[in-house]
Amino acid sequence: MKADIEAAKRAADRHENTSLMEPLLIGEGSRHRVELTDLALDLTQKSAGFRRSLPPSLLTSLADLVRAMNCYYSNLIEGHDTHPVDIERALKNDYSTDARKRDLQLEAKAHIAVQKWIDDGGLNGGLATKPEGICEIHKRFCQLLPENLLWVEDPVTNKKLRMVPGELRKRDVRVGDHITISPGALPRFLERFTRVYGTLGKTESIISMAAAHHRLLWIHPFLDGNGRVARLMSHATMLDLLDTGAVWSVARGLARRVAEYKALLANCDLPRRNHLDGRGNLSEEALAEFTRFFLGVCVDQVDFMESLVQPDRLRARILLWAEEEIRLGHLPLNSGGILEAILYRGELPRGDAAAIVGASDRQGRRIVSALVDRGVLTSESPYAPLHLVLPAALASRWMPGLFPEKAA
């Protein structure tokens, strides 16, 4: 990775000054600070409260589902609409025979693999805002992409360019009205990015998450994939600062308000409007507006997920589904009793299943086997306790609103 950064230093450099991307922070004297600080504290409290409210047994299952949700919405922002069920199939190596759909399934699988690496601590120690961490996100994501998705078309020359995983771009790029900095300047700007965002206190870091999100996109370090990298960087930052447990995602909120998200990002590229608009080269007003939007979306998503997994409501939806499946002959009698027991206890030894529903050992094994085959129960081994799974295929019934109806 260091070799890639050194190579970029030798690329074309117009010697731009890093002050071009100032302000990197909303100044303490800004009139926006009070509101943004309140939003950051509200988000901190709500995220911590939600995480604490979840039983440990549900954390893993919910994080797995949210990982698929984050992947779905982050790719959707880029115009890649991969059905959540197709994402789930890809995780089981079940791919479409349609080449385009298969490529998108592989893209989704790559996104989930990188987020799983992040969730497991891959960017601990503040790596998320360091050049090596940012390049590693891109490298891990792109290494898993099919060859077709590694080629980018230059909108000016229509020439096809192959993206190298983890490599900083070596050519100039225009994104809308924004002309990006020269390739040779990338290491200098990324170093400045790290010096600012990697040395802040916790509250200041939370307030500055949106600013870091935009400024990374403004730097545009890679030929392509910058949007996914920025959102994964933000995910890693929130995982660290807010101890989210990966059980909620800002990507869903950004995708549901994608036009506003993109418009506010574009506004942050604009130069300072007047003497009341901060003291940097770029507009502080626009950066504050995007920060307000970004933190507000985070708060909305925590509230949404908390309402979705309220124990009584979640249990009622799952048991209603089980009753319907039993009535249709898709599940054995008493399947709901097993699910209800696991919802209360968090896990259930296989040997206890029969006694829970007052059935014979043979019938208990039959019920457990049916629920495992249906994909709603799992265990680490044939002898390990059973845990609940939250499948994407059942999201419309168990977790309504998680995905759009057309995708559920």
- The pair of three-digit structure tokens given for residue 245, joined into one six-digit string: 């447990």
For residue 61, how far is the Cα from the chain centroid? 16
Mean model confidence pLDDT for the chain: 93
Residue 1 has pLDDT above 60, yes or no: no
Per-residue model confidence (pLDDT) at position 47: 97
How many CB atoms lie under 10 A from the CB of residue 408?
Answer: 18
CATH class label, 311-398? mainly alpha
pLDDT in tens, 160-210: 999 999 999 999 988 888 889 999 999 999 999 999 999 999 999 999 999
Per-residue model confidence (pLDDT) at position 158: 82
d(CA 94, CA 407): 18
Q: Return all residues near 408 (Cβ < 8 A) that are at least 6 apart.
A: 84, 395, 396, 400, 402
Specify the pTM. 0.92
pLDDT in tens, 318-327: 999 999 999 9
**H helices then E strands: how many in the chain?**
18, 6
Compute CA distances 53 → 50, 218, 306, whole Å: 5, 38, 9
Size (the chain), residues: 408
CATH 1.10.3290.10 corresponds to the domain 2-308:
yes
d(CA 38, CA 360): 57
Compute CA distances 242 → 215, 232, 296, whole Å: 21, 15, 15
pLDDT in tens, 44-54: 999 999 999 99
Contact present, 172 and 179 (Cβ < 8 Å): yes
How many CB atoms lie under 10 A from the CB of residue 81?
Answer: 13
Per-residue model confidence (pLDDT) at position 337: 96
Give the residue among 233, 263, 264, 234 at the shortest CA–CA distance from 250. 234
Return residue ranges of the chain for CATH 1.10.10.10.
311-398
Residue 94 has pLDDT above 70, yes or no: yes
* Type of residue at 230: A
Return residue ranges of the chain for CATH 1.10.3290.10.
2-308
Per-residue model confidence (pLDDT) at position 8: 47
Residue 157 has pLDDT above 70, yes or no: yes
User: Interhelix angle for 56-77 vs 84-91, to 10°?
Assistant: 120
Q: Residue 278 — very low, low, confident or very high, per pLDDT cuts 50/70/90? A: confident
d(CA 336, CA 359): 13
